[in-house]
Structure 1
Amino acid sequence: MDKAIRSVATASQMGVSGYLYGLAVALIWGAQPVVASFGYRAGLTTLDLTMLRFAASGLLMLPFFVKRGIWSACGVGWRHAAVFILLAGPLYNMVLVGGLQWAPATHSSLIYPAFTPLFTTLIARLLLKDQQRIPVAGLALLIAGVLTVKLGAILHPVAGVNPDAWRGDILFATAALMWSLYTVLMRRWNTEPIAVVAVVQVGGLLYLPFYFWFAGLAVFQLDTTAIAIQTLYMGIIVSVISVLMFNLAVRMLGPKAAMFTALMPVVGVGLAVLVLGEPLTWSLMLGTVLIVAGLFIALKKK
């Protein structure tokens, strides 16, 4: 009897921990556009932000990478590793963060999470023969949410918003496509997630020589606080810690841990309005509600 009670208590504690991990991941991932926007305001460029991110995460994961095997690329194989680095490494970060040069953080917080499940489902059906699909209701809500945001911006332009915001929106959607292909290929090639994380982060170190060759050391003359925040948050918290926390959430809660990603738009839009002072319009609020509802339906179905 006592053993059964202890087992139930342990399971309950794991469930609570899983929810806390999932919530923390949603907060961390949802705040990415806001933190990157602060970097731009401090004078950092897309190239600078990418260098700081992979310098930190690459060096942090380097011992693990070496221990698991350099010649085998942590057991992933260099042919597959090259594809993962291309899809989720420095180029991916430039596309995702680069969109913030034109579009506000609120757009990134909505468009990227909305398009990711759409692209993932489509690519999985093509490459994995996966018959799972997003329910029609979820698909309609996701598309309606994105269209609401875009139509609102066109019909009722807000002062201070770049008229070329569509360029950033395209980059956010492109980043979602890259990430979706990356996740599907991990399943297709049956790779170990932590090994792939190590390969991508360490592989990102290859970007550093090219960066310093062309940009020099000028970045270190900027605000040291801004540099430290970007290095710590993007390079360590986002790239490594949040991924490990998400893996723990999945282990404790199972597939329903993915439900927490539906909170990302709320976190991102809320922080962009409160911290960055970006305008909150009716179309933005309605789009957020539609996208979050669509994500919940899509993720719950899976």
Structure 2
Amino acid sequence: MDSRKSIDVTAVGIMVAVCLIWAFQQIGLKSTAVFAAPVLQIGLRSGIAAMLVFALVCARRQRLEFWGRTAGLGILAGLLFAVEFFLVGEALKHTSASHVVVFLYTAPIFAALGLHGKLPSERLSAVQWGGIAVATAGIAFAFLAPQGSGQGPADLGAMLWGDGLALLAGAAWGLTTVLIRTTRLSAAPATHVLFYQLATAFLALTGAAVLAGEAGIVPSGPLLLNIAFQAVVVSFLSFLTWFWLLTQYRASQLGVFSFMTPVFGVLLGVLLLGEPLTPEFAIGTAGVVAGIVIVSAYPWLETMLAGTRSRRTPANLAAVRRRRD
């Protein structure tokens, strides 16, 4: 029997804070890119967070596998994690942070498509396929609709390239979810999986930054604060909080609230970075968010409707009438 409970006010408050933190990470990377390349920053934050997670594992006296099949799958998940954030770092060079966060958070759509053929419990309903169609239409509109921000062809081309990289990052994230859900990693402690991802990303992304000649750092207060925030708050505390929520509350209900992250990302990009918000992109974003909500919320709504139907059986209705009499 599933002991996880339905979301309450506490869960909603925590999810709002977590989604706000996740939205802010792209803003922080974009605003400090003049001091260090985003890919290098992500690599460094991953290394610091990996050490924090390792310390937590040791404090709990857990055994972390460094060899064997689980470790191999963990490294593979880490490589996908590194690909995701490499694409995020590159996307931030060409497009706005608000665009990156919207396209990155199409990951639930890609995960749903990948899990559909892998796990019987994750097969998509007709309603969810409709949600995917809505999200796809939103993505297409954001890409293909004429942009009203006064950009020249070169700027527009760079923006679309960055948007495409962010969308690929979302696909990589979705593939990571499929890998974790369909292999023995699903039975591994969340801290172990997180350590594999962070440690592998640290090695891969810092190495990529060095090979690309982007290992230079201009020491500054904003950069140090951002890396500390990214490592401690984003990659360590927020991820552990998310995993804790998954142990306490129903995942289908928590997933519905992921739509807040792209919404927060757009608002923060406009308010803090002065990024333009064109009507075309706003409409496309609305389609993406609506699609995510439809796909994520359907299992929750189906469960609620099933519970309502079960309470309206003839026997239950007769019992209610007897109590009234």
**Is TM more than 0.5 here?**
yes
Shift of 1:118: 2.2
1:196-235 per-residue CA deviation (whole Å, 9 max, x = no partner) reads 002222333434874796669741xx14223223312222
Per mean C-alpha deviation after superposition, the further-off stretch among 224-233 and 271-280 is: 224-233
> Which one of the candidate residues 256, 260, 281 is aligned to 1:259?
256
Gaps of 5+ in 2: 300-325
**Which letter does structure 1 place at the counterpart of 2:286?**
V
* Distance (whole Å) between structure 1 residues aligned to residue 90 and residue 208 of structure 2: 16
* Distance (whole Å) between structure 1 residues aligned to residue 230 and residue 69 of structure 2: 24
Residue in 1 that maps onto 2:166: 172
Identity %: 23
Shift of 1:278: 0.8
Q: Does 1:23 align with 2:16?
A: yes
> Which one of the candidate residues 95, 98, 104 is aligned to 1:112?
104
Residue in 2 that maps onto 1:60: 52
1:128-154 per-residue CA deviation (whole Å, 9 max, x = no partner) reads 3542356233123212221222233x4
Gaps of 5+ in 1: 1-10
Per mean C-alpha deviation after superposition, the further-off stretch among 126-135 and 91-100 is: 126-135
Q: Does 1:269 align with 2:266?
A: yes
TM-aligned CA distance change 1:281 to 1:85, over 3 Å: same
How many residues align? The count is 284
TM-aligned CA distance change 1:22 to 1:223, over 3 Å: same
TM-aligned CA distance change 1:173 to 1:213, over 3 Å: closer
> Which one of the candidate residues 208, 216, 225 is aligned to 2:221?
225
TM-aligned CA distance change 1:209 to 1:47, over 3 Å: closer
Residue in 2 that maps onto 1:4: none
Residue in 2 that maps onto 1:7: none
Residue in 2 that maps onto 1:95: 87
RMSD of aligned alpha carbons: 2.8
Residue in 2 that maps onto 1:185: 179
Shift of 1:60: 1.3
Residue in 2 that maps onto 1:44: 36
Does the aligned pair in 2 maintain the 1:21–1:248 contact within 8 Å? no
TM-aligned CA distance change 1:34 to 1:216, over 3 Å: closer
Shift of 1:87: 0.8
Instruction: State TM-score, norm by structure 2.
Output: 0.77
TM-aligned CA distance change 1:292 to 1:248, over 3 Å: same
Shift of 1:236: 1.9
* Distance (whole Å) between structure 2 residues aligned to residue 183 and residue 212 of structure 1: 25
TM-aligned CA distance change 1:78 to 1:271, over 3 Å: same
Does the aligned pair in 2 maintain the 1:84–1:200 contact within 8 Å? yes
Residue in 1 that maps onto 2:276: 279
SS of 1:68's equivalent in the other structure is coil
SS of 1:196's equivalent in the other structure is helix
Mapping for residues 202-217 of structure 1, pairs under 5 Å: 202-207=199-204, 210=207
> Which one of the candidate residues 210, 227, 236 is aligned to 2:232?
236
TM-aligned CA distance change 1:282 to 1:209, over 3 Å: closer
In our comparison, the structure showing a higher alpha carbon Rg is 2
TM-aligned CA distance change 1:176 to 1:225, over 3 Å: same
Does the aligned pair in 2 maintain the 1:74–1:199 contact within 8 Å? no
* Distance (whole Å) between structure 1 residues aligned to residue 210 and residue 285 of structure 2: 42
TM-aligned CA distance change 1:73 to 1:16, over 3 Å: farther
* Distance (whole Å) between structure 2 residues aligned to residue 94 and residue 33 of structure 1: 13
**Which letter does structure 1 place at the counterpart of 2:139?**
V
